[in-house]
Amino acid sequence: MVIPLYNEGSHVSELLLDLKSALQQTGCRFEVVLVDDGSPDDTWERIKGEARALTNLRAMRLSRNFGKELAL
């Protein structure tokens, strides 16, 4: 699953908790890729922090805001 984020730093942890809960119920293996679409807030720092703790989470950062379509 690929999720583009822009200025969503305050929502990253909650998003991942909800996603993990929903995806674990399926019984399927999964990987989540969070893409920071050039956010000026702390989105990237929060994504990196979560990625260190979760083995099925990948973090990617774009150099500037390209928009959600290109971030995907």
The DSSP secondary structure of the chain, one letter per residue, reads -EEEESS-GGGHHHHHHHHHHHHHHHT----EEEEE-S-SSSHHHHHHHHHHH-TTEEEEE-SS---HHHH-
The sheet with strand 2-5 has its strands ordered as 2-5, 32-36, 57-61
- Both tokens assigned to 20: 């993990």
- Both tokens assigned to 71: 């971030």
| The predicted structure's pLDDT at residue 24 | 87
Tens-place pLDDT, residues 11-54: 999 999 999 899 889 989 989 999 999 999 999 999 999 999 88
